[in-house]
Structure 1
Amino acid sequence: MASSRLPILLALAFSSLSFVLSHSNREMWFQDFFPPNMCPINAKANTFYGIMFDAGSTGTRIHIYTFVQKSPENLPELEGEIFESVKPGLSAYADQPEKGAETVKRLLDMAIDAVPPHLWKKTPVVLKATAGLRLLSEEKAQALLLEVREVFEESPFLVPEDSVSIMDGSYEGILAWITVNFLTGQLSGQNQHTVGTLDLGGASTQITFLPRFEETLKETPGDFLTSFEMFNSTYKLYTHSYLGFGLKAARLATLGALNMEAVDGQMFRSSCLPKQLEAEWHFGGVKYRYGGNKEGETGFKPCYLEVLKVVKGKLHQPDEIRGSSFYAFSYYYDRAVDTNLIDYEQGGVLEVRDFERKAKEVCDNMERYNSASPFLCMDLTYITALLKEGFGFRDNTLLQLTKKVNNIETSWTLGATFHLLQSLGITY
């Protein structure tokens, strides 16, 4: 569990945060995302909290944010965050929704300890599920959400009408972009030097940035653009979520198992895996048997050709990003840590070519790395192909890999909490 108490002035974060979405199905996003009929928090309270759950494909995470308002005349400050996670994700309990809800309850018990009892009824709790539940059938996904809703109803916290739902992937990218650029100070005053964000989850991947050139806006599909006003500035973001292109979904696609029923005894093989490997892997509540090509080639070159089929021609490539810098997190960060490209605590700056260099090293010496993770070669090769052939980044594009900024997790959840608190009608 990580906790921090670094005050971050929210200034205009709540009073001027408003979205004007660029196409019709997003016009009422605030109302859909967090309904306006929530009970307002008393803005005069010294301290108030927001509880946001991120129900991802590989794990469920709780973020408990603490905000302080020292006097009615002062704006609130983000004082800190308590973060914890459990594995596997809710989607692993597709056939056992009660057990899935139990993992949420264990995390929610932390909030009961963290939030003072006299503020429980004024503290909202919300869970937003991401790509893992989007891949399930509607019936199974809704069964899970219903069980979680019951857990919330039995808690002492404020439970909004739409407190448990599946979030559209595009909003995930937007909210992560807000979080990173807010924490890095890029949204304050006249500062327009924003950074793009890349998020690689288990089932989906998102790319979000603020285009600088009119040509980019003209050449971009309309549903990739979202306009909004924030901090007295207007932003028109390029943002898109690619379902099925997360790291673990990409493993299935490379193996030829994505969207296939796992038949008993069926073996999925790849040149990205050690030749003699035969093992089992669970994802999304399904068990897969996988292994290496015993008679075929292994190594980076044949692996890259396999992975290339997953991404080549499948993603939009805006020319502008080729020379831009991006923040990258989630599995980009994790695999860089796993292979000593960056420090776990500090993160670091990499070029795209660094992932390719490490992929070649791992794939061409697979037996040496097998004990750490049999998928390491495949994962690094996929990241390389996704960045270069998928998005179209140059080899020398800089990526800032980080888990935290100012001791706050670089997650979409902070951006979502901004929306939540605004919808609660906080005034100063």
Structure 2
Amino acid sequence: MRAHWSPVLVILGATWACSRSVCHREQSTWFQGVFLSSMCPINVSASTYYGIMFDAGSTGTRIHVYTFVQKNPGQLPILEGEIFESVKPGLSAFVDEPKQGAETVQGLLDLAKDAIPQSHWKRTPVVLKATAGLRLLPEQKAQALLFEVEEIFKKSPFLVPDDSVGIMDGSYEGILAWVTVNFLTGQLRGRGQETMGTLDLGGASTQITFLPQFQKTLEQTPRDYLTSFEMFNSTYKLYTHSYLGFGLKAARLATLGALEMEGADGHTFRSACLPRWLEAEWVFGGVKYKYGGNQEGDVGFEHCYAEVLRVVQGKLHQPEEVRRSSFYAFSYYYDRAVDTGMIDYEKGGVLKVEDFERKAKEVCDNLEAFSSESPFLCMDLSYITALLKDGFGFADSTVLQLTKKVNNIETGWALGATFHLLQSLGISY
């Protein structure tokens, strides 16, 4: 079992009948590495098949069970539906209790057994890819968690491919989320259509991905921020980058100045972003931190923003083109907008960057009124504002489409990986 695994991340369980020893495939994709040797071309007689994918994030573990129907041989199967469920906390919270962490996966795996007909179990692969939460752990501890999860998989009735459990390279999160959103919104179904950029804000990392429209962007962008790939008979050259340590929860620790002190036993980290009365403890990445408000110092938006600004200013690449672009934003962008009533939980909504700043000022300058249920609300909104404006360089007027689902399918990188896999199996429009 390897700690890092960069090829396709969602494996589809189809009605195929071939052995690993006779299954071969050309590798002409944008993924670096080797596709799973257990993958074989789909038997054209199949009509329905399933895929199980676990997304082990820093704040929770999520399962996606996809159902596909292939009506005609040689055509791209139709995504018929998705079953989605999640549990909290994430695997990284069980850093010293790997068996207990794996038990959270077992509960979700039982859901998949209920969702998939028993006749398909043995040919439905199960895969788990961990993201930033496990990337931040010491390698030995992360490996222990992944080993226990793999043991759970081996005891299940599903197909367990080689490298079925591992840590995903952060850059693929952004790329595959971009594919998911633009496929579901119809932008990848034909040539020449305008695409939308994507912003994902997790607990430990954040990603930005878009399709540059100007040659200047390509010329001024660091080479490792650009990735070319083919999909749906088109070639795309994407700008994409994952910033580890710039997720919402990691940013809280950076704002508090707690990252350098390894939990600092007995020390309480204080911030102008927190209410004066607050005295609390918080566990992140297996480390316990004490935090609280400024008992005598300044509080409010101006002082809070100065703290979060130090976390992002000068540390992220700023492509000028994004100031005039539109983006889909999900994960904590969505959650914090819902928490403050800026968008509807079910429907999502459209906001501008300046809307986050306006709400941050309102919350931070009225800490006592807003912080009783969510003491980090001021800090989080201020950080999101600073990340968008001073980190990525967005304009106040940049439009953000906040969504949790598109066409009733969860946003994120899972579906993008699925469709890329279908292409690698020789299925196309």
For normalisation by structure 2, the TM-score amounts to 0.91
Asked whether the equivalents of residues 105 and 151 of structure 1 are also in contact (C-alpha less than 8 Å), the reply is yes
Tell me how far apart the structure 1 counterparts of residues 28 and 96 of structure 2 sit (CA, whole Å): 37
Residue 160 and residue 423 in structure 1: after superposition, are their counterparts in 2 closer, same or farther (change >3 A)?
A: farther
Shift in alpha-carbon separation, 1:323–1:270, aligned structure 2, 3 A: same
Q: 1:127 to 1:259 in 2, by over 3 A?
A: farther
C-alpha contact (below 8 Å) 1:19/1:227 kept by paired residues: no
| Contact 1:204–1:243, Cα closer than 8 Å, also in 2 | yes
- Following superposition of structure 1 onto structure 2, how do residues 336-415 of structure 1 map, counting pairs within 5 Å? 336-415=337-416
Q: Distance in 2 between matches of 1:191 and 1:105?
A: 44
Name the counterpart of 2:250: 249
Structure 1 counterpart SS, 2:73: coil
Residues 282/259 of structure 1: CA separation in 2 closer, same or farther (3 Å cut): same
Seen in structure 2, the aligned counterparts of structure 1 residues 153 and 425 have a Cα distance that, compared at 3 Å, is farther
- Go from structure 1 to structure 2 and tell me whether the alpha carbon gap of 1:289 and 1:361 turns closer, same or farther (over 3 Å shift): same
Deviation at 1:37, TM superposition (A): 3.5
Deviation, structure 1 residue 263: 2.7
- Give the secondary-structure state (helix, strand or coil) at the position aligned to 2:329: strand
What letter corresponds to residue 226 of structure 1 in structure 2?
T
The aligned amino acid for 2:109 is L
- Give yes or no for contact 2:269–2:292 (8 Å, CA) kept in 1: yes
AA partner of residue 389 (structure 2): K
Task: Indicate the residue corresponding to 2:185 in structure 1.
Answer: 184
Please name the residue that 2:129 is paired with. 128
CA distance in 1, matches of 2:214, 2:139: 40
> What is the Cα deviation at residue 371 of structure 1?
1.4
- Are 1:36 and 1:423, in contact at CA under 8 Å, matched by a contact in 2? no
Q: Deviations over 1:79-129 (max 9, x none)?
A: 000000000000001111001110011001100111111111111111110
- C-alpha contact 2:37 2:162 (8 A) present in aligned 1: no
Judging changes above 3 Å, is the alpha-carbon distance between structure 1 residues 63 and 241 closer, same or farther for their aligned structure 2 residues? Answer: same
> Superposition pairs for residues 46-65 of structure 1, below 5 Å?
46-65=47-66
Compared with structure 1, are the counterparts of its residues 72 and 425 closer, same or farther at alpha carbon in structure 2 (3 Å cutoff)? closer
Number of the residue aligned with 1:68? 69
> Do structure 1's residue 152 and structure 2's residue 153 form an aligned pair?
yes
Partner of 1:3: none
Measured at CA, do residues 79 and 18 of structure 1 come closer, stay the same or move farther in structure 2, by a change above 3 Å? farther
User: Which residue does the alignment assign to 1:209?
Assistant: 210
Take 2:428 and 2:216, find their aligned partners in 1: how far apart are those partners? 40
User: Do residues 106 (structure 1) and 145 (structure 2) align?
Assistant: no
SS of residue matched to 2:345: coil
| CA 1:39–1:259: 2 relative to 1, 3 Å | farther
Mapped contact 1:300–1:363 kept (Cα < 8 A): yes
The structural deviation recorded for 1:419 is 3.7
Does 1:269 pair with 2:270?
yes
Residue 158 to residue 427, structure 1, CA distance change in 2 (3 Å): farther
Q: Is the CA contact 2:74–2:428 (under 8 Å) kept in the aligned structure 1?
A: no
SS at 1:212 equivalent = coil
CA contact (8 A) 1:43 1:426 kept: no
**SS of the residue 2:259 aligns to:** coil
Deviation (angstroms), 1:421 = 4.6
Structure 1 position 189, deviation (Å) = 1.5
Q: List per-residue Cα deviations over 1:311-361 (Å, max 9, x = no partner).
A: 000000000001100000000000000000000000000000000000000
Deviation at 1:75, TM superposition (A): 3.7
Distance verdict in 2 for CA 1:376–1:391, change over 3 Å: same
Q: Deviations over 1:248-277 (max 9, x none)?
A: 000000000124311321101000000121
3-state SS of 1:173 partner: helix
**Residue in 2 aligned with 1:5?**
none
What is the alpha-carbon distance in structure 2 between the residues aligned to residue 198 and residue 122 of structure 1? Answer: 35
| SS of equivalent to 1:416 | helix
SS at match of 1:81: strand
- Unmatched tracts of structure 2, length 5 or more: 1-25
CA apart distance, 1:416: 1.8
State the Cα distance separating 1:231 from its structure 2 match. Answer: 1.1
In 2, distance between residues paired with 1:20 and 1:107?
Answer: 31
Instruction: Note if contact 2:75-2:427 (Cα within 8 Å) is conserved in structure 1.
Output: no
**8 Å Cα contact 1:66-1:78 kept in structure 2:** yes
| Cα 1:272–1:264 shift into 2, 3 Å | same
CA contact (8 A) 2:76 2:428 kept: no
Name the structure 2 match of 1:170.
Answer: 171
Counterpart residue type for residue 299 of structure 2: T
Distance 1:388 1:306 in 2: 15
The residue identity in structure 2 corresponding to 1:92 is A
Query: How far apart, in 2, do the equivalents of 1:361 and 1:165 lie?
Result: 42
Matches within 5 A, 1:67-86: 67-72=68-73, 74-86=75-87
- 1:76 offset after TM fit, Å? 1.4
Distance 2:225 2:28 in 1: 16
The DSSP-based 3-state class of the residue aligned with 1:368 is helix
Corresponding residue of 1:4 = none
Partner of 1:11: none
Opposite residue 300 of structure 1, the aligned amino acid is: F
Question: Residue 340 of structure 1 aligns to which amino acid in structure 2?
Answer: G
Q: Aligned equivalents of 2:110 and 2:378: distance in 1?
A: 38
DSSP 3-state at the match of 2:239: strand
Aligned equivalents of 1:224, 1:71: Cα separation in 2 = 39
- Normalising by structure 1, what TM-score? 0.91
AA partner of residue 187 (structure 2): Q
Distance change >3 Å, CA 420–CA 259, structure 1 → 2: farther
Matched-pair contact (CA < 8 Å) for 1:92–1:283: yes
Which consecutive residues of structure 1, in runs of 5 or more, have no partner in the other structure? Answer: 1-16
The 8 Å contact of residues 318 and 391 in structure 2, kept in 1 or not, is answered as yes
- 2:259 aligned residue: 258
| Change in 2 beyond 3 A, CA 1:157/1:41 | farther
RMSD between aligned residues: 1.7
